[in-house]
Structure 1
Amino acid sequence: MNFDWNYAREVAPDLLTTGLKVTLQATAGGAVLAFVLGLVLALLLRVDSRWVRLPTRTFIEVIRSTPLVAQLFLLYYALPTFSRDVLGTQITLSALTAGIIGLGVHYACYTAEVYRAGIDGVPPGQWEASIALNLPRVRTWTDVILPQAIRRVLPPLGNYLIAIFKESPQLTLITVVDVVGLAQNMGSTNFKVVEPLTIAGLFFLIIAIPSSILVRRLERRLAQ
């Protein structure tokens, strides 16, 4: 099979400006949700009440123990029917919104453990100093603990950002037309699959490899 370079050059602009744009939107939205919700879950796991900790831990384990694809299908296909039958109001999400929520919630359950490790890594003396200074609990968290913890977890969060980017093609299963979905559509329309999928794969390499290098450099710098 000969690779049609002319066709590859023809489809590359659409894959870049249309398909890759959707991929980056899904990645950015999913990452923001994952990082914010992950921090919330990590803090809930430290609440004294077991009535808060137990449901939070159960939620995390359920999400981590089920595949992302199943969660996407539930959000996009099952949620409208479930909400109509149970709540009396049909909740319908667009494909991209469902994809962002699915990616965000799924990876929040992983970033929660990253935040937990970062918080546990803060030296006990920092807690003791805050108590000795009679700092309010909120200020202890916002001014002392979280700044140190977040500095420790930046490299792992960077790795999860790359993971979300690489997982985003799964959104094509719920009709999101990202760069891979657009490449598949082009292939089925023009009966040339290799060229658009190759271009889509190159876009992932061009973004993922430099991002991985930057994360490793950040990790080495913070470790100094």
Structure 2
Amino acid sequence: MMSHILAVEVDDPTMVDEEEIEGSPFWDWEFAFEAFPQMFMAFLEVTILVTVVGTLIAAVLGLVIAILIMVLPKPLAWIVRWAANFIRMTPIVVQLIFMFWAFLWLDALTIGIIVFGVHYATYMSEVYRAGIESVPKGQWEATTALSMPAARTWRKVVIPQALRSTIPSLGNYAISMFKDTPFLLVIGVAEMVTVAGQIGAPTFRYTEVYTIAGLLFLAASYPTAVLVNRLEKRLAYAH
């Protein structure tokens, strides 16, 4: 994991020849091609990893939170709801810094994945809750009439119907998580945008590296957004 820890060695800006900077072209293809491999590796090893694993954690934990709020006795449900609200209303940057210093035995990348997963789980729990509440009351009554166990009611009847209306929103939160990964900088994780800054700093060539970063974000988020929109339309039609 040490390859992902921020370790910037930037040349002294005063040592850069101003005439060389002013005379340089706006876009240097050679510099862009040299920067791309390192940025792409950071994109795969950090940005995508945090998004995929964080989304899986958020999707599962968010469902658990939503169900607990609905099935636990009111005092316990209130505690779960309060904890979820507290996490949701606290900036993710603050959570990253707090967890980094509170759990020094964990590496920064692991902390980032956990924080992103838990933070977005609180948002997804609200989406799940809305989906569960949208299940027709008759479905609940039918399971009661059939003496269906509670666990089977949730697994076979409620959750499948709730997911039909929640998957598009969950996809949108995954995209939001993907775009929030640059916040990992505060705990020293060198994700793609941070690596771009490191590469551009010695020569002040930021146009190429930040353009590449933007294109990589677009290349991943736009197809995901299109798939989410198509899925939403398909589920609405099926419903």
TM-score (norm. length: structure 2): 0.85
Extract unaligned runs of 5+ from structure 2.
1-24
| 1:25 matches 2:54 | no
In the alignment, residue 20 of structure 1 is paired with which amino acid? L
Structure-1 separation of matches of 2:214 and 2:192: 9
Deviation at 1:130, TM superposition (A): 0.5
Alignment of 1:76-95 (within 5 A): 76-77=100-101, 79-80=102-103, 92-95=105-108
Q: Which of 67, 85, 107 matches 1:61?
A: 85
Larger Rg: 2
Count how many residue pairs are aligned between Structure 1 and Structure 2.
213
Q: Which residue matches 1:85?
A: none
In the alignment, residue 153 of structure 1 is paired with which amino acid? T
CA contact (8 A) 1:19 1:177 kept: no
Deviation at 1:190, TM superposition (A): 4.2
Q: Which of 153, 176, 194 matches 1:181?
A: 194
Partner of 2:70: helix, strand, or coil? coil
Q: Which of 32, 37, 62 matches 2:61?
A: 37
CA contact (8 A) 1:76 1:98 kept: yes
In the alignment, residue 63 of structure 1 is paired with which amino acid? I
Partner of 1:97: helix, strand, or coil? helix
Q: Which residue matches 2:234?
A: 221
In the alignment, residue 166 of structure 2 is paired with which amino acid? V
Q: Which of 200, 206, 209 matches 2:219?
A: 206
> Alpha-carbon deviations, 1:78-135, whole Å to 9, x = none?
x04xxxxxxxxxx522111111111111111100000000100111111111111111
> Alpha-carbon deviations, 1:27-67, whole Å to 9, x = none?
01111111111011101111241231111111111112111
Alignment of 1:124-203 (within 5 A): 124-203=137-216
Extract unaligned runs of 5+ from structure 1.
81-90
Percent of residue pairs bearing the same amino acid type: 46
Deviation at 1:20, TM superposition (A): 3.4
Deviation at 1:17, TM superposition (A): 2.5
Q: Which residue matches 1:15?
A: 39
Structure-1 separation of matches of 2:44 and 2:37: 10
CA contact (8 A) 1:72 1:102 kept: yes
In the alignment, residue 50 of structure 1 is paired with which amino acid? K
In the alignment, residue 208 of structure 2 is paired with which amino acid? E
TM-score (norm. length: structure 1): 0.91
What do you get for the CA RMSD once the two structures are aligned?
1.4
CA contact (8 A) 1:76 1:92 kept: no
CA contact (8 A) 1:23 1:168 kept: yes
Structure 1 segments, 4+ long, off by >6 Å, are none
Q: Which of 26, 35, 46 matches 2:70?
A: 46
Q: Which residue matches 2:129?
A: 116
Structure-1 separation of matches of 2:186 and 2:202: 18
